[in-house]
Structure 1
Amino acid sequence: MWPGALPLLVLLATLLHPSRCTQTQAKMNFREKEKQVLDNILGPGRYDARIRPSGENRTDGPAVVRVNIFVRSISKIDDVTMEYSVQLTFREQWLDERLQFDDFGGKLKYLTLTEASRVWMPDLFFSNEKEGHFHNIIMPNVYIRIFPNGSVLYSIRISLTLSCPMNLKLYPLDRQVCSLRMASYGWTTDDLVFLWKEGDPVQVVKNLHLPRFTLEKFLTDYCNSKTNTGEYSCLKVDLLFKREFSYYLIQIYIPCCMLVIVSWVSFWLDQSAVPARVSLGTNYHG
């Protein structure tokens, strides 16, 4: 036999082994099943994204959307414009029984979408928002997961500039409460209800560094509002900020005190020492 032919034959037998081909074919068939599932639940004439899902337990009540947020950073707290900037991961989860599908014995854990227009979406908006934008680098930071029982998870990363009315009477020894308010724009509580997700509805990144402030704590609450057109569901989280007095002590108070003390030196100078008085005043005002 030609030298080295045996290892080559073993390698070819391994590559052409029927089980390996079967596994590859099974994976391809499984991906085809995912496509079939998506076509079955979202195909033309099968699902209408304009119609909201039914209430929990297939009742005629309002659709329930559970919300949780992850605060990634707080980049600015502005006393002049009374606003603050925050970057967060925002998540919503609700049940849409029209999207139920067969998980093939637990093999298909969830389906992933990147187009929010394919399914019904809650009309949530940030009521105290001044500016905001999505993140699209490298790809849009958004995904939708559909689970076998019809549960939908929507996650997106956004940056917001929010208004924060401040009381500056005790400045710089003050504490400020800045809120993040989320409400339904068009659906009343008869059709849509927002709830905080149970268990840590608000999470904050570790080692959060703020300019001249410290985040002491945060509180979640509800803020439903009634208007002429009905009652609308609303969620809010209050962020309690404490101003760092040490910053103002080092940057303002100590330098000002030193300038005042230096100005007192002129009282110990002789009246006839005109050049010394002039130079001291020049240095002080400079």
Structure 2
Amino acid sequence: MTDLILTYSVHLVLVLLLQIRVQADSSLDNSVKQLLSTSRYNKDRKPDSFSYVNVQVDIYDMAKTEAKNAEFTLELYLRMWWKDARLQYSNYSSLGNVSKLEIPEVNTAQIWQPDLYFLTDRKPEIHDRSIANRIIYIYRNGSIVYSERTSLTLRSSLDLTFYPYDQQMCLVELQSFAYTNDSLILNWHDSNPVKISGAKMAEYLISVGEYGHGDKPPLEQIGIYSTLRASIMLKRTGHAHFYQLYGPSFAVVFVSWLALFLDEKKVSPRLTVHTGCVIALTTQWIGIYFLLPAVSYIRAIDIWMITHLLLVVFAFLANILSLMARRDDRKNEIDKRKDSGGCEENFLKH
């Protein structure tokens, strides 16, 4: 009987706690709805006549690189901080113990947001599964934190002079689309506004270069826009190219010169080896050109391939010269035999 009473009491307490929790959540939802009600809050109007927005970019992955198109795709978190005094809730009794409100993605459209965009982004994309990956936090004093997960495809002005030991710079620029610097100013957040959190690739070492802010007038007749700039440095390691490029090309040159030590009588195998080496290097060079964009200057890899191709051609010419010299020696030997044979006949006649 005691166990039954105890079990009933526990169930009753759990039901009461659940009911209190449901009532609290319901009260919280009603307060949020009242806070964001269109009768008191206009999401299409800026909070103040002049606003500051702090921005942070956290890069967590480098999805892919396309050297042919000079494109690099980054996965990142974009975070923004601003203040909207209209969303203060310190006078709401139902929210007295709540330090911040979490606004899910389905309700973020009810809140005014800075219309930032990346000037250097070629394929803007917000990550979404069933809903987009974004969230907003509202604090008691009206401070707002916005966070979203997005992809950024940057185009770099590639300098392949020292390829495959080159270093590229990708410029990241953020700007408001509609608000000039008379009404909205962008600033980087804290002293470390651009972070790289675990973004790694086998071919590149990723680091943050210089960052700052300034003004950029895309349309001078409209106004000047506050702009944030940061550079992402991509340093190619070149280790993979040692096995895929340097090793094979060196082996081809070695084989081409090794063929010179074949028997001089085996003319056809020697020519076949040298011809095959020239074709192998040429094919490898063409493959490199398919991977890289066309440029008007000489790259380090071009000097490497030209040097090795010339070494193979020199080996081929050395083979030809040795065969010609051997043919001349045979001809001279035959002529000497003929001359010695003629002298013997004349001696016999006398």
TM-score class, shorter-chain normalisation, is 0.7 to 0.9
Cα 1:70–1:109 shift into 2, 3 Å: same
Which of the residues 187, 202, 222 maps onto 1:195? 187
User: Which ranges of 4 or more aligned residues in structure 1 deviate by more than 6 Å?
Assistant: none
The C-alpha deviation readout for 1:93-125, integer Å capped at 9, x for no partner, is 110000111364433532323233201111111
Q: SS of the counterpart of 2:209?
A: strand
Map 1:21-40; keep pairs closer than 5 Å: 22-40=16-34
Map 1:115-194; keep pairs closer than 5 Å: 115-194=107-186
Q: Give the structure-2-normalised TM-score.
A: 0.72
CA distance in 2, matches of 1:74, 1:160: 10
Q: Whose helix fraction is larger, Structure 1's or Structure 2's?
A: 2
Equivalent residue, structure 2, for 1:101 = 89
CA drift at 1:198: 0.9
The C-alpha deviation readout for 1:178-215, integer Å capped at 9, x for no partner, is 11111111100111111111142122122x32242212
Equivalent residue, structure 1, for 2:41 = 47
- Percent identity reads 26
Q: SS of the counterpart of 2:161?
A: coil
Letter of the 1:218 counterpart: G
Cα 1:184–1:25 shift into 2, 3 Å: same
Q: Give the structure-1-normalised TM-score.
A: 0.87
Letter of the 2:109 counterpart: S
CA distance in 2, matches of 1:171, 1:153: 42
Cα 1:282–1:168 shift into 2, 3 Å: closer
Q: Is the 8 A contact 1:49 1:118 kept in 2?
A: yes
Q: SS of the counterpart of 1:16?
A: helix
Q: How many residues align?
A: 273
CA distance in 2, matches of 1:224, 1:50: 25
Letter of the 1:7 counterpart: D
Q: Is the 8 A contact 1:111 1:147 kept in 2?
A: no
Equivalent residue, structure 2, for 1:66 = 54
CA distance in 1, matches of 2:166, 2:38: 58
Q: SS of the counterpart of 1:230?
A: coil
CA drift at 1:128: 0.8
Q: Rg bigger for which structure?
A: 2
Map 1:267-286; keep pairs closer than 5 Å: 267-278=260-271, 280-281=273-274, 284=277, 285=279
Letter of the 2:10 counterpart: T
Which of the residues 77, 86, 89 maps onto 2:77? 89
CA distance in 2, matches of 1:177, 1:81: 15
Q: Whose strand fraction is larger, Structure 1's or Structure 2's?
A: 1
Q: Is the 8 A contact 2:260 2:270 kept in 1?
A: no
Q: CA RMSD in A?
A: 2.1
Equivalent residue, structure 1, for 2:102 = 111
CA drift at 1:278: 4.9
Q: Is the 8 A contact 1:98 1:150 kept in 2?
A: yes
Which consecutive unaligned segments of at least 5 residues does structure 1 have?
Answer: 55-59
Larger relative CO (CA 8 A, sep 6+): 1 or 2?
1
Cα 1:71–1:7 shift into 2, 3 Å: same
Cα 1:164–1:223 shift into 2, 3 Å: farther
Q: SS of the counterpart of 1:170?
A: coil
CA drift at 1:283: 5.3
CA distance in 2, matches of 1:113, 1:215: 32
CA drift at 1:23: 3.5
CA distance in 2, matches of 1:13, 1:173: 73
CA distance in 2, matches of 1:269, 1:14: 95
User: 1:12 and 2:8 equivalent?
Assistant: yes
Letter of the 1:12 counterpart: Y
Equivalent residue, structure 1, for 2:215 = 224
User: 1:262 and 2:262 equivalent?
Assistant: no
Q: Is the 8 A contact 2:78 2:150 kept in 1?
A: yes
The C-alpha deviation readout for 1:140-196, integer Å capped at 9, x for no partner, is 211122122111221111112111112222222322111111111110011111111
